[in-house]
Amino acid sequence: QGAQIVDVRQDRNGVSVTVEYVDGGNMRELRAEYLIAADGGHSKVRECLGIGYEGRGAFSNSVTIYFTADLSPWVGNNAWSVIYVNNPVLRGFFRLNRSAQAGFLAINTLGDPKLDPQAAANAAADVSEHRLIELVRAGVGNPDLAVRIDGHTRWHATANVAQEFQDKRIFIAGDAAHLMPPNGGFGGNTGIHDAHNLAWKLALVIRGHASANLLDSYAMERKPVARFTVEQAFSRYVARTAPWLESSQQPEALVDDLHIELGYLYNSPIGIHADPRTTLGIPGSRAPHVWLTRAGKRLSTIDLTGHFLLLAGAEGRSWVDAARGASERFGGLPLEAYCIGVDFDDAEGRFPQAYGISSSGASLVRPDGFVAWRCEQSAHDATGVLNDALSRSLGHHPVPAAA
């Protein structure tokens, strides 16, 4: 806090960051094995690496107005998360607190873009208090509404992805890796997904369980998903607030939110996304939810994740036995293994079908809850097969280069 990055350097053993303290201008060098550049859309780390953005660029000089006003007569008891406004004055959306007494109005466009596209896209041209009050009133549709302006923020509606997500020991994440319009609410979640993908890999490499090659899979897995998500946010922006851009920008077809938030896939032959209710445990998809019980306690298969996890069918004990030896082979790798139907009750008998295996098969789930591998049936050499699957999942086999 109170410091800024001025330089980043790396060598074969680690990363050095030079920071300057705002008060006094004193310099300090920090050293670590790896660096995660999660320093926002104006990332200094990304700039130092010479990594730019690619994509559609900025298409609106937008403004968010924070205000206090009683909008309960219009909202009532409706628990609306986002309220879109499209009228002759402005296009944007409201988000309000629970009592509808305060919130913000994000504005992307003013007036008629067909008459003056440049002026319409410059919603932040006038941020005087008088003008901001006028815009809130116009959004509500009441010229006499009592409004107090609490603040405002200028920002660019942008749809971009970083050209690279990794440079040796430095990883680009969050807004530093992808910028998207707020439509759909995907931005923050996509950054969390980046961290979710990277954190377990770094942890296992640093602890010696995994090869450093595993880290190369971060960019290979996350960049296609980020590009897909950014495009979906842009398609929602066009559909909801800027339909006149459709002919010139040709946005991608909208897909269901569930595909974006929970259905994105890693290195899957079926594509980058799918309905997560239909993927049936295919490698690269999220491990499916199935209700289980143990000692009278109900829990989900998802509750068992957070480390490597092997789930076998009721007749798959050989896989569980193999997992115990595999943990030792990889330096005490945290790995839990269970027979569903034996160690946990599957009263509805959903587990095998949900995970795409037979009662003698098994599924290996990564610490981030994604399926790394599965074998639909028993194997003659369960130990050898599982060791190979774990070896690949830990980067001990070369990771294919990103396209």
R_g over Cα of the chain: 25
For the segment 186-190, the average pLDDT, to the nearest whole number, is: 95
Residue 403: the pLDDT is 40
Per-residue pLDDT for 402 more than 60? no
Per-residue pLDDT for 399 more than 80? no
pTM for this model (two decimals): 0.90
CA atoms of 150 and 161, how far apart (whole Å): 32
Kindly state the helix (H) or strand (E) to which residue 37 belongs, with its residue range.
strand 35-37
**Per-residue 3-state assignment (H helix, E strand, C coil) for 353-398:** HHHCCCCCCEEEECCCCEEEEEECCCCCCHHHHHHHHHHHHCCCCC
Two tokens, residue 318: 């050989």
Domain 291-393 has CATH 3.40.30.120: yes
* CA diameter of the chain: 78
Q: Encode pLDDT of 158-173 as tens digits.
A: 999 999 999 999 999 9
- The stretches of 126-186 forming alpha helices (DSSP H) are 129-140
CA atoms of 346 and 396, how far apart (whole Å): 34
Q: Encode pLDDT of 354-373 as tens digits.
A: 999 999 999 999 999 999 99
Q: Find tokens 């660019």 and name the residue.
A: 156
Of 383 and 114, which is predicted with more confidence? 383
Q: How many CB atoms lie within 10 A of CB 114?
A: 8
Give exposure, 152-163, as e/b (b: 16+ Cβ within 10 Å): beebbbbbbbbe
pLDDT confidence of 401, banded at 50, 70, 90? very low
Q: Pinpoint the residues of the chain covered by CATH 3.40.30.120.
A: 291-393
Residue 277: the pLDDT is 94
CA atoms of 37 and 31, how far apart (whole Å): 14
Residues 189 and 161 sit within 8 Å (Cβ to Cβ): no
Two tokens, residue 269: 């032959």
Kindly state the helix (H) or strand (E) to which residue 273 belongs, with its residue range.
strand 271-273
Domain 57-156 has CATH 3.30.9.10: yes
In Å, what is the CA distance from 66 to each residue of 135, 302, 347? 11, 39, 51
CA atoms of 280 and 65, how far apart (whole Å): 44
CA atoms of 119 and 57, how far apart (whole Å): 18
Its sign, for the CA torsion 272, 273, 274, 276, is positive
Its sign, for the CA torsion 9, 14, 15, 21, is negative
Residue 397: the pLDDT is 76
CA atoms of 150 and 351, how far apart (whole Å): 52
Contacts of 352 (CB under 8 A, 6+ apart): 313, 358, 359, 361
pLDDT confidence of 1, banded at 50, 70, 90? low
Residue 398: the pLDDT is 55
Residues 191 and 38 sit within 8 Å (Cβ to Cβ): yes
Q: Which residues are catalytic?
A: 84
Residues 172 and 18 sit within 8 Å (Cβ to Cβ): no
Residue 387: the pLDDT is 95
Residue 25: the pLDDT is 79
Candidate from 29-33, 56-60, 334-338, 361-365 with smallest mean pLDDT = 56-60
CA atoms of 276 and 286, how far apart (whole Å): 7
Q: Pinpoint the residues of the chain covered by CATH 3.30.9.10.
A: 57-156
Single-letter code of the amino acid located at 74: W
Q: Encode pLDDT of 68-99 as tens digits.
A: 999 999 999 998 989 999 999 999 999 999 99
Residue 24: the pLDDT is 79
Q: Encode pLDDT of 284-339 as tens digits.
A: 999 999 999 999 999 999 999 999 999 999 999 999 999 999 999 998 999 999 99
- Rounded to the nearest integer, the mean pLDDT of the chain is 94
Residues 89 and 110 sit within 8 Å (Cβ to Cβ): yes
Q: Encode pLDDT of 105-149 as tens digits.
A: 999 999 998 888 889 999 999 999 999 999 999 999 999 999 999
DSSP string covering 58-75? EEEEEEEEEEE---HHHH
